Structure 1
Amino acid sequence: MTLSSAPSPTAQQGLRILAPIALGVVGLGLWQFLVSVVGVSDYLLPSPAAIVGELVAFAPAIAGAAAVTGANALVGLVVGMVVAVTLAALASRWHAVDAMASPVVAALAVVPIVALAPVLNSMFGADSQFGRQAIAALAAFVPVFVNALRGLRQARPIHRELLHAYAATGAQAFRFVTLPSAVPHLMTGIRLASSLAVISALVAEYFGGPRGGLGSFISTSAATSAYARAWAYVVAGIVIGLAFFLVTALLERLVLRRIPSGATS
């Protein structure tokens, strides 16, 4: 009796692509069945067909709102990432900075967005996007800081001692030892922060501030009983979140390819 051979790499790649698509189709079919046959109310769960209809009918408005939310999330992600990396570099170098930063980061990690968003929106006025961008920056800051700090401390002491024995400068040690060890952790933090920035920006828009983002349109549509339209805006938010995640995941893959093999071991 012969054992069946393992699937080829091409078949495995095709399965990884087709499996989630098939699951999504089955889920949408079940969703439509619950609404059309079982009779689930629209205010509980609008049908996929109704949501698609709203996406088509309000495509320009949805695209404009998605652009606002995407811009807020992007600004927050970039600002949070820059501040986090800078503070992590200082904390890895001086223990006093680490001792001061650790409780602040721990406090930021548990700040409820739904409580902070209305406060910042009120502080900076009804015409400013700064409050929403600040919320996204705070959400992105924590995972980037934690992962960057861990990565900067990942380099083995024996590697540092070896470079010191060869009279390497601090800049050379950072370039050849510290940075290659830190980059994988940093990219993981950025990938996690990308989705959090989108979610936080959308939630901040939901709780006030200038009209224009997906969150504000979701709130308005739900308040006027346009539930399918509200879900259409939710779908746009999901698309933005997936786009941010895929772009940062691709960036992570490209960056890690440039790191010398064994740098993180």
Structure 2
Amino acid sequence: MTQLSVAAPVRLSIRGNVVRAVYPAVLVGAVILIAWELAVHLFNIQPYLLPAPSAIVAEFGKSFSTIASAAQITTIAVIGGALLGAATGVIAAFIVALFEKFANTVLVLVAILSCAPVVALAPIFNAWFGATSLMSKIAVAAIMVFFPVMVATTKGLLSVHPLHRELMESLSASRFQLMVWVRIPGAVPSLFDGMRVGATLSVIGIIVAEYFGGTANALGVLIANSAALSQFPLTWAAVAAASLLGLVVYGAVMLIERLVAPWRFTPASR
């Protein structure tokens, strides 16, 4: 009985926090959509310039099967790119963290490399893996995810509290033990910070890479083809689907973070 009486307020508190976090974004989004709809009708904006949200929603429902089929292919590539980029980023971060003296130099080099237009590599990857191969798209997304994950995780691994380091040294802990018991738990929040950034970048990378060639029913190809045929409501509906995919991937990362690092969401951690 006591457990139930304690659990109920906790659930209500979590639900209230979620509502307070989501409500402002939903309200602002609703205001923007209403203003958008009114502006299109009041100023008689042509569909090829900017279709009304109602027209986009209608086209989304009309072409749902086409958009859903294209989204499936793109989603597979996004997940593959995010997982590959995150895995390689974490491995690289561990290697860099083992050599602390050179870590700052490596991070500077990584920052310089991350400034390069990664999506411009899409035609090269198409030549390597094939224009219709998912791997050519996954490679672009993986590189875009790699940089934020690697940098954030490395900084997390290197951010060891001096007291914790002294305690481990007083216990004659090895570098491996310091990594396992101090560095990795402390770097988990930083890893997910990088993953949240990488989640949205992976969708952008896949969509842009699909512009340079892809399977006939991918979202990027659908956007490019429908725009070329002046089917702008369909174009915007596919763009909306890509945006929704980005939100879903971002939400999935946050959900995993809540499961893996629940202490970040407790009132004491804020």
TM-score by length of 1: 0.86
Partner of 1:130: 135
Partner of 2:187: 182
Q: Distance in 1 between matches of 2:74 and 2:165?
A: 44
Aligned letter for 1:72?
Answer: A
Q: Distance in 1 between matches of 2:155 and 2:257?
A: 17
Partner of 2:28: 23
Unaligned runs of 5+ in 2: 1-12
Unaligned runs of 5+ in 1: 1-8
* Deviation, structure 1 residue 228: 0.4
Aligned letter for 2:183?
Answer: T
> Which of 48, 60, 65 is equivalent to 1:60?
65
Partner of 2:255: 250
Aligned residue runs from structure 1 range 101-116, under 5 A: 101-102=106-107, 105-116=110-121
Q: Distance in 2 between matches of 1:205 and 1:136?
A: 11
Q: For the structure 1 residues 37 and 181, does the alpha-carbon distance in structure 2 shift closer, same or farther, using more than 3 Å as the test?
A: same
* Deviation, structure 1 residue 39: 0.5
Q: Does 1:90 align with 2:95?
A: yes
Q: Distance in 1 between matches of 2:99 and 2:16?
A: 51
> Which of 29, 35, 43 is equivalent to 1:38?
43
SS at match of 1:45: coil
Q: For the structure 1 residues 186 and 227, does the alpha-carbon distance in structure 2 shift closer, same or farther, using more than 3 Å as the test?
A: same
TM-score by length of 2: 0.84
Q: For the structure 1 residues 97 and 17, does the alpha-carbon distance in structure 2 shift closer, same or farther, using more than 3 Å as the test?
A: closer
Q: Is contact 2:119-2:140 (8 Å) kept?
A: no
Partner of 1:152: 157
Aligned letter for 2:247?
Answer: L
Q: How many residues align?
A: 254
Q: Does 1:69 align with 2:74?
A: yes
Q: CA RMSD in A?
A: 2.5
* Deviation, structure 1 residue 42: 0.8
* Deviation, structure 1 residue 210: 2.9
Bigger mean CA offset, 170-179 vs 130-139: 170-179
Q: For the structure 1 residues 258 and 32, does the alpha-carbon distance in structure 2 shift closer, same or farther, using more than 3 Å as the test?
A: closer
Q: Distance in 1 between matches of 2:228 and 2:49?
A: 14
* Deviation, structure 1 residue 13: 5.9
Partner of 1:6: none
